[in-house]
Amino acid sequence: AQSVTQLDSQVPVFEEAPVELRCNYSSSVSVYLFWYVQYPNQGLQLLLKYLSGSTLVKGINGFEAEFNKSQTSFHLRKPSVHISDTAEYFCAVSRGGYNKLIFGAGTRLAVHP
Amino acid sequence: NAGVMQNPRHLVRRRGQEARLRCSPMKGHSHVYWYRQLPEEGLKFMVYLQKENIIDESGMPKERFSAEFPKEGPSILRIQQVVRGDSAAYFCASSHLDSPDEAFFGQGTRLTVV
């Protein structure tokens, strides 16, 4: 069975500072990895995904993530955050085949001026 | 191209009533997924459906919950005899036959049981 651990429930950061949101997963099989963002009272929007190929994945809004198979991690990074990045971020995995996602508990990113 | 449409956005039910949540997938999408988000938690998979078929319902509670995706019309998640613990946000996602690993989410239905 797969599981996802988001190591930080909340991450406060000042505007224009860099940020890293951590995600570790466990799985006995190859997985696909995703990061989603959820703004207040909204649905989930896909930020980026890793299916195969290059381990550095670039997504929307200036975010990127690096797949590290040996450390079973898929951390999300942004070099300079904006107030508008304040939201909940979810890491998720699937085994492929169809989109049965296993989500982490989420990390609340709070960007302060 | 409209996204995944869920309605209602907010639903209030008294204990013991039935809740019906609707999801219209994106145009051309034949796969629908339902997820539940309890307060302060991540999303939990409930069920995966294709037209007229339930493919994976491993996340559905054994009682009171059912889902369908008929040949015509939206997918329906039905909760009978709701209890306070059913209060949550219910999200629907859809994907295309050729891209089953990328799902697009609706804005969710927030169910409150009073």
Decide if B23 touches A, using CB distance below 8 A.
Answer: no
pLDDT tens for B75-114 read: 999 999 999 999 999 999 999 888 777 889 999 999 999 9
CA-nearest residue to B5 within chain A is A43
As a whole number, mean pLDDT of residues B20-27 equals 96
Token readout for A71 is 């450390």
Burial A86-111 (b: 16+ CB within 10 A, else e): bbbbbbbbbeeebbbbbbbebbbbeb
- Least-confidence region, from B32-41, B46-55, B56-65, B96-105: B96-105
B56:A98 CB<8 A: yes
Decide if B90 touches A, using CB distance below 8 A.
Answer: no
From chain B, the residues in CB contact with A44 under 8 A are 43, 91, 93, 105
Report the residue from B33, B106, B107 with minimal CB separation from A99. B33
- Taking 80 as the threshold, does the pLDDT of residue A24 lie above it? yes
Q: Which of A10, A23, A99 to probe the B interface (max B CBs under 10 A)?
A: A99
The residue among B29 and A42 whose pLDDT is bigger is B29
